[in-house]
A and B are shown apart, each in its own frame.
Chain A
Amino acid sequence: MPLQERSRMILIYGGTILTVTDGVIEGGSVLLGDDGKIAEVFANHTDVAGAAVIDATGKYVVPGFVDAHTHLGICNLETGEIGEDENEMTNPSTPACRALDAVYVWDSGFADALSGGITTVFTGPGSGNVIGGQSITMKTAGHCIDDMVMQNPAGLKTASGENPKRVYKAKAQLPSTRMGTAKVLREALSKARDYKERRAGTEPPVMDLDMEVLCKVLDCEIPLRMHSHRADDMITMVRICDEFGIRMVIEHGTDSARVRHELARAGVAVITGPLLDVSPKVETASSSFSAPHLLHEAGVLTAIMTDHPVIPIESLRLEAAIAAYEGGAGEQEALEFITINPAKILGLEDRIGSITRGKDADLVVWSGHPFKASSVAEKTFVNGKLAWEVNA
């Protein structure tokens, strides 16, 4: 069956479709258009003129998952230090550094992502710096980063808590405390505000790449993507964001349930995780699969991450499954944590995160419900094309 032909429609019929936003369709069909979009979702259809057909009877058809916080392709697997390009730790503030310039698309993590049903990732710098650089959102299938990228920049990576102060304390540099971390961020944003004013005036300053990126933050074009485990760090960062009127998403959010009502009031989304891990640090002690549900209940837009390669990216569904059954979220809510919610956090809910007509044809045929550990992703489609197949 010539599924990989660019200009052929594909009809996947007979499966249980978890649309995410429009309920479950038993024995439904999805038509993947030749433009890479979902052309139609049918209650029951086994044949469309000109379309290749896939019988998914007894199987599940699920949107491609979205992992909204990874280091995929930037922190390469297998190559050790040679392939670690996620932290430019020569300066605690490096906003002009771009993930786009460091993603190695042949890293085996991309195949792992497709094998775990993940079709979109947010990937970016690590948490060694207070301001780490610009992250991107990209599809997980392809050979050229420029064809795969969806948003550049998708957000400005920033970090609070243990990591930046540990890195720079070892170099006997600022920041060595939480106060120092806040100072680095506040100073950068203050300078950018000044730069922005002068840029609009009659004698504009010499172009500064760092400042240009921070202006995008001040203009609310992109959010801060704030690495934060401890609740007090989150509140500090809400305070700084209020000072500058900027947007922020909390990453990790290990202790975020403790301040969930404050975060809900501030309109801050939280991407929790990695959860399928032993708590490695003091600031991760309260790590719990209950956090996503508690946040959701409080009105916080919530997603789940793997932080790949901290835990392997194909385990995203297992994290959501444990949040469903042990963490109190239930299946539908937990499914949203890895589909439509991260899509909303990224501002891409019109393109990904559900099986809906007109959205990107990113979907996966699973042998059973994706929350069963024993289920296997059999076929993963990205932009309407077969991108991965089990045992192929």
Chain B
Amino acid sequence: MIRIAAQHLFDGQGIMNDAVITVDGPRVVSVETSGHPGEHYDYSAAWVTPGFIDLDSGIGLKEESLGFEGNDLNEATDAVTPEMQAMDGLSPYDTSLEKSLMGGVTTALVMPGSSNVVGGRGAVVHMVGATADDMCIKAPFGMKFSLGNDPKQTHGQKRTPMTRMGNAFLIRDILTKAREYREKKKEYNMKYEALLPLLAGEDMAFIQALRADDIMTAVRLAEEFGLRYVITGAFDADRVIDQLKEKDVTVAFGPVIMSRWMDDVKRLHPENAVALLSSGIRTAIIASHPNYPARYLRISLGLLVGRGISPEQALGSVTSVPAGILGLDGYGEIRSGSIADLALFKAQPWEPEGVTEHTFVGGNEVYTRS
């Protein structure tokens, strides 16, 4: 049993003061509003939150510091690769994993990159484990799609797509064929097989779309095939907020901090994330590691708090909201029975001075600041 005293506890929904959390094995067994008089706690922290969840990450697939050798993010020999699985390229030795724990990030949906219009299936993983299988919470999960410039740029000189029309065509084509395959199954086809759970509503599409026109293309395609879906990136979403709200679309916005080096990214601004979060649209904030280091996801939230987003909503956007999108019961929250993925901070976690002091995954202390 571990007893943790928190001056401020964010439990996934709200902030409680002077809370005491009891962890037994892999789970939280109780959250109390006060401890016993004179009690000595195993840990005391200014702030305690659920471990953060990065909802669209390349961690472990594109390992840091390795260049080509460590880059297994995009199987860009073909623009349509639904049969790829992130689990098969995931390295548990990416040094970014332990750095993520140093920033209180405990969980990620690892997805293939954005070079292919259909990238493949993702894996929900913990940031720690001796093998990819040890890290895995659930896989395969999520089908990665990508619109916009990246597939055009990657493939256009060699094959379709060369245009946004080509992007949409390839997605519409493969989903049409997979649907037909489901009805009159003939010869085994691995690409179509990989798409069947998505067509059946058992899996979810994660469609990267940065520009507003690409966002609406994503919505159009998803509606045509009745997909459950999330728009990721979404830098330009403030332009189509009314449409997204009307259709009850879920968005994973981010990273909030990233060089506006490409046309697709040029309207990225923290204000756009603020507009989404304020609109009532279900919005997660992502690091999109390695586009931005997951370790400092917490600090990107500060830019939103400084522009009027409440700490509760900012912290929720990296905990309970992504856990809800992923359907991970017991994650992204701290209550009796929840998984003991916890981050302890020295001050407000969204500020640079809120340095991470301890991180727990499944009740095990996986990071201690020296």
**B352: interface (CB < 8 Å):** yes
**B16: interface (CB < 8 Å):** no
Q: Which residue of A lies closest to B311 (CB)?
A: A374
Give the interface SS of chain A, mostly helix, strand, loop or mixed: loop
**A281: interface (CB < 8 Å):** yes
Q: B355 near A276 (CB under 8 angstroms)?
A: no
**Contacting B352 at CB < 8 Å: which of A78, A278, A282, A371?**
A371
**A77: interface (CB < 8 Å):** yes
Task: Count chain A CB atoms within 10 A of each CB in B258, B290, B351 and give the residue with the most.
Answer: B351
For B252-272 the 0/1 string (1 means CB < 8 A from A) is 000001111111001000000
For B59-73 the 0/1 string (1 means CB < 8 A from A) is 000001111000000
**B219: interface (CB < 8 Å):** no
CA distance A308 to B293 in the complex (A): 16
Which residues of chain B from 231 to 281 have any CB-CB distance to chain A below 8 Å in the complex? 257-263, 266
CA distance A375 to B303 in the complex (A): 8
**B96: interface (CB < 8 Å):** yes
- The distance from the CB of A111 to the nearest CB of chain B, in whole angstroms, is 11
- Which of A29-37, A186-194, A206-214, A319-327 contacts the other chain? A319-327
Which residues of chain B from 29 to 87 have any CB-CB distance to chain A below 8 Å in the complex? 64-67
**Contacting A78 at CB < 8 Å: which of B67, B266, B289?**
B266
**B226: interface (CB < 8 Å):** no
Q: B299 near A322 (CB under 8 angstroms)?
A: yes
Which residues of B lie under 8 Å from residue A91 when comparing CB positions?
A: none
**Contacting B64 at CB < 8 Å: which of A112, A278, A374?**
A278
- The distance from the CB of B21 to the nearest CB of chain A, in whole angstroms, is 24
**B306: interface (CB < 8 Å):** yes
Which residues of B lie under 8 Å from residue A79 when comparing CB positions?
A: 263
For B319-359 the 0/1 string (1 means CB < 8 A from A) is 00000000000000000000000000000001111010000
**B307: interface (CB < 8 Å):** yes
Give the interface SS of chain B, mostly helix, strand, loop or mixed: loop
Q: A318 near B260 (CB under 8 angstroms)?
A: no
Given A276-B257, A309-B259, A312-B259, also A281-B65 (CB < 8 A):
yes
For A141-156 the 0/1 string (1 means CB < 8 A from B) is 0000000000000000
A interface residue count range (under 10 / 10 to 19 / 20 to 34 / 35 or more) = 35 or more
Q: B64 near A280 (CB under 8 angstroms)?
A: yes
CA distance A318 to B354 in the complex (A): 13
CA distance A126 to B181 in the complex (A): 52
Q: B350 near A309 (CB under 8 angstroms)?
A: no
Task: Count chain B CB atoms within 10 A of each CB in A108, A308, A374 and give the residue with the most.
Answer: A374
Which residues of A lie under 8 Å from residue B300 when comparing CB positions?
A: 373
Q: B266 near A285 (CB under 8 angstroms)?
A: no
Q: B302 near A372 (CB under 8 angstroms)?
A: yes
For A257-289 the 0/1 string (1 means CB < 8 A from B) is 000000000000000000011111110110000
**B305: interface (CB < 8 Å):** yes
Task: Count chain A CB atoms within 10 A of each CB in B257, B266, B301, B350 and give the residue with the most.
Answer: B257
Given A77-B266, A325-B353, A325-B355, also A278-B293 (CB < 8 A):
yes
**B229: interface (CB < 8 Å):** no
**B296: interface (CB < 8 Å):** yes
**Contacting A324 at CB < 8 Å: which of B260, B293, B352?**
B352
CA distance A373 to B257 in the complex (A): 12
Given A78-B260, A373-B303, A376-B307, also A326-B351 (CB < 8 A):
no
Q: B262 near A371 (CB under 8 angstroms)?
A: no
Which residues of A lie under 8 Å from residue B96 when comparing CB positions?
A: 278
Which residues of B lie under 8 Å from residue A50 when comparing CB positions?
A: none
**Contacting B262 at CB < 8 Å: which of A80, A284, A324?**
A80
Task: Count chain A CB atoms within 10 A of each CB in B67, B259, B303 and give the residue with the most.
Answer: B259
Q: B299 near A282 (CB under 8 angstroms)?
A: no
Task: Count chain B CB atoms within 10 A of each CB in A280, A373, A375 and give the residue with the most.
Answer: A373
Which residues of A lie under 8 Å from residue B266 when comparing CB positions?
A: 77-78, 108
- The distance from the CB of B311 to the nearest CB of chain A, in whole angstroms, is 9
18 A-B pairs whose Cβ atoms sit less than 8 Å apart in the complex:
A77-B261, A78-B266, A108-B260, A276-B257, A278-B292, A279-B65, A280-B290, A309-B259, A311-B257, A311-B259, A321-B353, A322-B296, A326-B355, A368-B306, A371-B353, A372-B302, A373-B302, A373-B303
The 5 closest A-B pairs by CB, nearest first: A373-B302, A374-B306, A321-B352, A285-B65, A278-B290
* Further pairs besides A80-B263, A284-B65, A325-B352: 16, Cβ < 8 Å: A77-B259, A80-B262, A112-B260, A276-B293, A277-B293, A278-B96, A278-B289, A280-B67, A282-B65, A282-B67, A311-B257, A324-B352, A368-B306, A372-B353, A373-B306, A373-B351
